[in-house]
Amino acid sequence: MRSSPLARFVDTLIVVADRVGGPTCGMVRRTSGRTPRLARLVAAWLLVAISVVSLMIGVAESAEASTHSTPTQGLVPGSTEGDFVHISTTTSVRTASGHGWWRYSKDSDLRADVTVQLQVNRQGVWTDVGVPGIERVRPATGGSVYRANARVPCVDRTPTEWRSVIDVDIVGVIDSPEKLYTTVRLLDCGA
């Protein structure tokens, strides 16, 4: 009598499990060397379950790794952008300023909440300073009506490292939780 493809598959899984020291080794062997059919099926399902879980973990890890390239990657093709933190020339008080905006690959009525948080480096630790700037804007090229702005008054002219953290959350759309960290700038602006 020929065995079915399923029976051959189960037997193959058991042989593989026995060779690699898998979870079925001691559970399904009888002293006679023959494996009962029910035990073979249980062993096969255990191996399939372990394989599926391993595959799911691998897929999750590769998906996590792929989200680092574009902060708004996910279901929406876009990008988070911002300028370097700089000394503002539009205020009478000397302030550090940073802007953030987002781009979208085509014309759209989408809106996003763009948040800009300024940070300074204090003895190797990046620390939030000031109040974050938050605006709900359309995608654009960074023009003043399509961006968020954060400002922090300079307390003195001590050389200080600055950067901004920009987060874009597109309203009503699943997007990546990634944030943009702008390039560090050394400014004569203590905070």
Q: Where residue 122 sits, what CATH number does that domain have?
A: 2.60.40
Residue 45 pLDDT exceeds 80: no
- The least confident of 49-53, 62-66, 110-114, 130-134 is 62-66
Query: In the predicted model, what is the mean pLDDT of residues 40-69?
Result: 48
Average pLDDT, the chain: 75
d(CA 29, CA 69): 50
Kindly report the number of other CB atoms within 10 A of residue 95's CB atom.
Answer: 20
Residue 9 structural domain: 5-66
- Per the document, the length of the chain is 191
Same domain, 92 and 54: no
Per the model's pLDDT, the better-predicted residue between 91 and 158 turns out to be 158
Q: Are 135 and 151 spatial neighbours (Cβ–Cβ below 8 Å)?
A: no
Q: Are 177 and 163 spatial neighbours (Cβ–Cβ below 8 Å)?
A: no
Which pTM does this prediction carry?
0.59
d(CA 113, CA 170): 6
Q: Is 73 inside a domain boundary?
A: no
pLDDT in the model for residue 30: 44
24 φ/ψ sector (left φ>0, alpha ψ -120 to 50, else beta) = alpha
d(CA 118, CA 182): 10
d(CA 24, CA 19): 10
Same domain, 99 and 175: yes
The tally of domains found in the chain comes to 2
Q: Read off the pLDDT of residues 64-103 as tens digits, 9 standing for 90 and up.
A: 332 233 343 444 567 899 999 999 988 889 999 999 999 8
